[in-house]
Amino acid sequence: MPKKCNFIEKLREAGLRPTKQRLNMCEVLFNREKTFHFTINDLVKMISEKMNQKISLATVYNTVHAFEKKGYLKEISIDSHKSYFDTNTSVHHHFFDEETNELIDCDENDIDPVNIKKNITGKKINSVEVLIKVASDNQNQK
Amino acid sequence: MPKKCNFIEKLREAGLRPTKQRLNMCEVLFNREKTFHFTINDLVKMISEKMNQKISLATVYNTVHAFEKKGYLKEISIDSHKSYFDTNTSVHHHFFDEETNELIDCDENDIDPVNIKKNITGKKINSVEVLIKVASDNQNQK
DNA sequence: AACTACATTATAATAATTCTAAACTATTGA
DNA sequence: TCAATAGTTTAGAATTATTATAATGTAGTT
Ligand SMILES: [Mn+2]
Ligand SMILES: [Mn+2]
Ligand SMILES: [Zn+2]
Ligand SMILES: [Zn+2]
């Protein structure tokens, strides 16, 4: 595991102590090629599968929220019945497959910048994000 | 109350029986000039204030979801910790004030149509909605 | 090693939502 | 008109997601 040192530093930089549990969560969350989306339940399963250790649910919540506060994770709201998190913390757009409940990042180049002609007076814009809901195209089965 | 007949018809058209509770909810939700956003808690307060009757929380949930299913209400997901509903059921964009938690409809003309250059293959787009998060512009207090 | 601050844990508490099943009501049609 | 029926409301219980508690454990520091 050559990556572990990175995670220790990553945690230290955020003022978080590099505990065993947090390092395990870093492995699961950040030791991968691509960013991804997950729910707390997904994550609990992934941790208990990948690592052969029990982790308290409270620790998962605490750590996810600590990571979120430090900007290592981003919470995404698509379906108000489910809390999604994203290891891609940039402002970006999403496709959401309403049939499979799958959340997919929009490629930066696949959507033109959104042109807001009039903002609310006295307010500054913090983020602009587009959500594209899709479903399978069954027009052929008519 | 000349509107009540409309609500009876509105409910009948959706195959919903025009019960006292549902008519009261229609009054609160639809007997107004502009559409608006609310949470279940907001709605329960509004009903118990406007009408001088108790209504079961279960009925509020049931009725909101019945209205949602029939297309009279739309659920909006901004903050995964709170479920918002909208009496504006069209596909439309929102400003969300992160300080006040206020949800504001975007005027149709104040934002250019979103140009999606590449969609997911085999999928059709059901909706495209933009969420603009804003906060007060305090650059003057530097 | 010992001290301290912070983290983890099991469990309890809370909050939001849904379920249950009994009582009630709108609709239908005899 | 009125009883039969299907659908609705209700209080309260159950479920689920999340957060709080407080005792125990651990990382960082001296
Ligand atoms: Mn959160
Ligand atoms: Mn819903
Ligand atoms: Zn994403
Ligand atoms: Zn709206």
Q: What is the pLDDT of residue B131?
A: 95
Domain annotation covers residue A117: yes
Closest-approach residue (CA) in chain A for B82:
A80
pLDDT at A140 over 80: no
List pLDDT tens digits, range B33-83.
999 999 999 999 999 888 888 899 999 999 999 999 999 999 999 877 778
pLDDT in tens, B77-114: 987 777 899 999 999 999 999 988 889 999 989 999 99
Separation of alpha carbons B77 and A101, rounded Å: 14
Residue B141 lies in a domain: no
From the list A97, A98, A126, the residue facing B133 with the nearest CB is A126
The encoded tokens of residue A37 equal 């989306």
Which residue type sits at A133?
K
Residues A68, A99: one domain?
Answer: no
Residues B37, B60, single domain; the answer is yes
pLDDT above 90 for A133: yes
- pLDDT interval class at A121 (50, 70, 90): very high
Q: Are A10 and A26 in contact (CB under 8 A)?
A: yes
Same structural domain, B10 and B66 = yes
> Phi and psi for B11 in degrees, rounded to 5?
-70, -45
| Any domain includes A120 | yes
In three-state secondary structure terms, B50 is helix
**Which chain A residue's Cα is nearest to B39?**
A80
Residue B48 has a pLDDT of 87
Q: How confident is the model at residue A1 (pLDDT cuts 50, 70, 90)?
A: very low
Q: Which of A59, A79, A99 is the last residue of a domain?
A: A79
Residues A68 and A26 in one domain: yes
Interface test with A, best of B64, B106, B107, B137 (most A CBs within 10 A): B137
For residue B15, is it left (φ>0), alpha (ψ between -120 and 50) or beta? left
Residue B2 predicted with pLDDT over 60: no
- Residues of A in Cβ contact (< 8 Å) with B98: 126
Residues B35 and B68 in one domain: yes
The whole domain housing B112 covers: 91-134
Distance CA A55, CA A52 (A): 10
Which nucleotide has its C1' atom closest to residue A56's CA?
Answer: C9
Please check whether residues A13 and A74 belong to one and the same domain.
yes
Residue type, B90: S
Report pLDDT for A142. 41
Domain boundary among B51, B79, B107: B79
Query: Do B19 and B74 share a structural domain?
Result: yes
Asked if residue A15 is part of any domain, the answer here is yes
**Would residue B20 count as lying in a domain?**
yes
Q: Are A11 and A24 in contact (CB under 8 A)?
A: no
**What separation in Å is there between the alpha carbon of B125 and the centre of ligand 4?**
20
Return the half-sphere exposure (C-beta side, CA atoms, 13 A cut-off) of residue A106.
25
**Structural domain contains residue B19:** yes
Task: State the CATH number of the domain containing residue B46.
Answer: 1.10.10.10
Claim to verify: residue A114 and residue A56 sit in the same structural domain: no
Q: What angle do CA B5, B9, B12 make, to 5 degrees?
A: 140
Strand A123-136 relative to strand B94-97: parallel, antiparallel, unpaired?
unpaired
Ligand 1 mean position to A105 CA, how many Å? 20
Q: In what side-by-side order are the strands of the sheet with A74-76?
A: A37-39, A84-86, A74-76
Examine residue A85 and state whether it is found in any structural domain, yes or no: no
Q: What is the pTM of this model?
A: 0.89
> Of the residues B79, B107, B126, which one is the last residue of a structural domain?
B79
Same domain, A47 and A104: no
pLDDT-derived band at A2, boundaries 50, 70, 90:
very low
Structure tokens that stand for A20 in this block: 């065993």
Tokens of A107: 């490629």
Residue A5: pLDDT above 70?
Answer: no
Strand D at less than 7 A from CB of B19: yes
Q: Do A134 and B112 touch (CB under 8 A)?
A: no
Chain B interface mutation, best of A84, A91, A98, A137, highest count of B Cβ atoms under 10 Å:
A137
Determine whether the interchain pair B117/A117 forms a contact, defined as Cβ–Cβ distance below 8 Å.
Answer: no
Kindly state whether residue B142 falls inside one of the protein's structural domains.
no
Domain match, B17 and B57 both: yes
pLDDT tens across A23-77, in order? 999 999 999 999 999 999 999 999 988 888 889 999 999 999 999 999 999 999 9
Cα separation, A116 vs A136, in Å, equals: 30
Tell me the residue length of chain B.
142
Tokens of B133: 């998060």
Do both A63 and A102 map to the same domain? Answer: no
Q: Based on the fold, state whether residues A9 and A56 are members of the same structural domain.
A: yes
Residues, CB-to-ion distance under 5 Å, ligand 4: B 86, 88, 105
Contact assignment for B78 to A77 by CB distance below 8 Å: yes
Q: What was the pLDDT predicted at B46?
A: 93
**Nearest neighbour of A112 by CB, restricted to B95, B115, B133:** B115
Answer yes or no: is A54 CB < 7 A from strand D: no
Q: Looking at beta carbons, which pairs linking A73-79 to residues 24 or more positions away fall under 8 Å?
A: A73/A29, A75/B80, A76/A37, A76/A103, A76/B80, A77/B77, A77/B78, A77/B79, A77/B80, A78/A103, A78/A131, A78/B77, A79/B77
Query: What is the rounded distance in angstroms from the CA atom of residue B39 to the CA atom of residue A38?
Result: 26
Number of domains observed in the structure of chain A: 2
